[in-house]
Structure 1
Amino acid sequence: MTPAVLFAFASAIFLGAGVVTAQRGLRTVEPLSGAAISVPCFTVLFLLLSPLILCNEPVVWRGLPIFAAIGLFFPASLTLLTFASNRALGPVVTSTLGNLAPLFAVTLAVLLLHEPLHAHQLVGAVIAVSGAVIITVTRPRDLGSWRSWALLLPLTSALVRGVVPPIVKLGLEVWPSPLWACLIGYIMSSLVVLTVQRLRKGSFAVEGTRSGRLWFAVTGISNGLSALSLFAAVRNGPITLVAPLAAIYPLVTVGLSAIMLKHIAITPRIVAGTLLTVAGVALVLIG
């Protein structure tokens, strides 16, 4: 299970970083345009590297429709929801409510894939999620005014993020290549976000400052590496193990927010939430 654990942690690190860098980009670029930068950016990078990283990866055509269908929703819809939530609620609340994703993922893994769920894993997952929620339970000062309906954005994002891993795992049973799964999904998602950008704005070109576009390019690469790491983790281990570990990304978000956004103070509540999260992860890792 070591590769699955390492890939799950890597996914959490990249995802947590992407939430913060997206917040920087959202200062000058709106969510839709940000998605039209970030998703295609990683897709182009992946395509440029594909002759090197896919040369030994066989093609299984039966799996193509599965990964293409996943790409219509992930990461396209997830990216749009996350960026919109990030702008409305800030990176910390977005990460906190998005952290409910493992509850959906684990439930589907047990019901759909018939994965075993041990008592200590369930307790550990609940504790880890609770710890991440405690870290960010209060409203940050940078939220400004917002409406209750905005909470639906990160909650829907959590649902999408939770549903995707079990479906990806089904696809990987047909075509066991996380690299191809990620590339096909990103190609489809790029087509989706660019089409939406064209329909809404009348042009594929994105308006915004150079720095904003650059931040979204960085966000796209970070989110893409997170998705690729998640697919690799799902390929190498059960979702009941992977989902709770990948859900610790708010720790990264809070840490980087304190450094880059200058509005997070390390309080006893954050320390307590961190300790709970670490304890929960330790329970999940118990064999």
Structure 2
Amino acid sequence: MIEYAPPLLALFAAFLFAVGGQFQNLGVQTLDSRTGAAVSITFSALMYWVAAPVFMDWSAWLHPAVLIFAAVGLFRPALSANLSVIGIRYLGPTLASTLASTSPLWGLALGILLLGEFLTLQTGLGTVGIIAGVLLLSRRGATATHTWPVWALLFPLGAAMLRAAAHVLSKVGMEFVPDAYFATLVGFSVSAVLATGARFVKKSDTPFVWNAPGPRWFAFAGLTFGFAVVCLNQALLIGKVVTVVPIIAAAPIFSMILSLVIFRREVLTMRIALAVLIVCGSVALIALNR
């Protein structure tokens, strides 16, 4: 049963990422992306520190690998979250997370080149299936209700590349300090300092009001992402990058389902149903890989 733990954790993390993306989409309606990202990251870091007396292994701070986790925090989620939120503002949560489907390609390449992992035929087919499914969601039909500039595609694509690099670096660091909670705490703490500092260096034109809907939605997103990244890092700790990263790319499917069922922003079509079937089958193919 233990061999199914990494894909199951990755699948649950993908669901949480989708939920957080929906919260961010609600938040950017009334709050600028840079401030929203700072609120989200800070709440994630606070959640980890509140739990520190129970889960923290304080001796881990003395290991040099803490520098690897800190390096991850320099660009994820501080930079990647800002790129992601900007992408959501222009493209919406479903299309923005769909374009993040390129992350497995970068993750697989880095996992193979830097970590010496092997790509099996089953995992390769599953990865192709997931990417094909989520890219199918990015096609806009004649009923599209909004347009977006082409250059906006660069934001979620850039976020995907940074996340893939962070997955590999986290995996490397946890080879020395096998603690997913500690790895996440260090990274988010560094990112929280950077994101909050950037907010004060260049203040937003929009006044910040805590009791407004925007900050609350980003706070919820931060708590959701906090749980998601711990699950992701735990999956990376006990599994392989080539197995975990493709499954994380299934987040757009959950985002689409949430938009259909909960937020009522999408309409079920044959294209959506086909994409869901393709991705679900591909995830199962990777999870059953030996």
**Which category describes the TM-score, using the shorter chain as reference length?**
over 0.9
Aligned to 2:281: 279
Is residue 57–residue 182 contact of structure 2 (8 Å, CA) maintained in 1? Answer: no
Aligned to 2:11: 9
Q: Decide whether aligned partners of structure 1 residues 153 and 202 sit closer, same or farther in structure 2, where only a CA change above 3 A counts.
A: closer
Q: How many residues align?
A: 286
- Which residue among 44, 59, 66 is the counterpart of 2:46? 44
1:1-287 aligned at under 5 Å gives the runs 1-54=3-56, 58-138=60-140, 144-201=146-203, 206-207=208-209, 210-285=212-287, 286-287=289-290
The CA deviation at 1:223 is: 1.2
Partner Cα separation in structure 2 for residue 139 and residue 37 of structure 1: 35
- After the TM superposition, list the runs of 4 or more consecutive aligned residues in structure 1 that deviate by more than 3 angstroms: 55-60, 139-145, 205-209
Partner Cα separation in structure 2 for residue 142 and residue 207 of structure 1: 33
Q: Decide whether aligned partners of structure 1 residues 177 and 55 sit closer, same or farther in structure 2, where only a CA change above 3 A counts.
A: closer
Partner Cα separation in structure 1 for residue 142 and residue 236 of structure 2: 33
Letter in structure 2 aligned against 1:9: L
Partner Cα separation in structure 2 for residue 145 and residue 128 of structure 1: 25
SS in structure 2 opposite 1:261?
A: coil
Letter in structure 1 aligned against 2:131: V
Of 1-10 and 96-105, more deviation after overlay is shown by 1-10
The CA deviation at 1:212 is: 1.3
TM-score (norm. length: structure 2): 0.93
Is residue 109–residue 239 contact of structure 1 (8 Å, CA) maintained in 2? Answer: yes
Q: Decide whether aligned partners of structure 1 residues 62 and 72 sit closer, same or farther in structure 2, where only a CA change above 3 A counts.
A: same
Q: Decide whether aligned partners of structure 1 residues 185 and 143 sit closer, same or farther in structure 2, where only a CA change above 3 A counts.
A: farther
The CA deviation at 1:2 is: 2.3
Of 263-272 and 133-142, more deviation after overlay is shown by 133-142
The CA deviation at 1:144 is: 3.2
SS in structure 2 opposite 1:117?
A: coil
Is residue 89–residue 143 contact of structure 1 (8 Å, CA) maintained in 2? Answer: no
Q: Decide whether aligned partners of structure 1 residues 277 and 57 sit closer, same or farther in structure 2, where only a CA change above 3 A counts.
A: farther
Q: Decide whether aligned partners of structure 1 residues 260 and 120 sit closer, same or farther in structure 2, where only a CA change above 3 A counts.
A: same
Percent pairwise identity:
28
Unaligned runs of 5+ in 1: none
TM-score (norm. length: structure 1): 0.94
The CA deviation at 1:161 is: 1.4
Q: Decide whether aligned partners of structure 1 residues 215 and 85 sit closer, same or farther in structure 2, where only a CA change above 3 A counts.
A: same
SS in structure 1 opposite 2:51?
A: helix
Letter in structure 2 aligned against 1:132: V
SS in structure 2 opposite 1:201?
A: coil
Q: Decide whether aligned partners of structure 1 residues 233 and 141 sit closer, same or farther in structure 2, where only a CA change above 3 A counts.
A: farther
Is residue 141–residue 263 contact of structure 1 (8 Å, CA) maintained in 2? Answer: no
Letter in structure 2 aligned against 1:129: I
Of 104-113 and 139-148, more deviation after overlay is shown by 139-148
Unaligned runs of 5+ in 2: none
Partner Cα separation in structure 2 for residue 149 and residue 136 of structure 1: 15
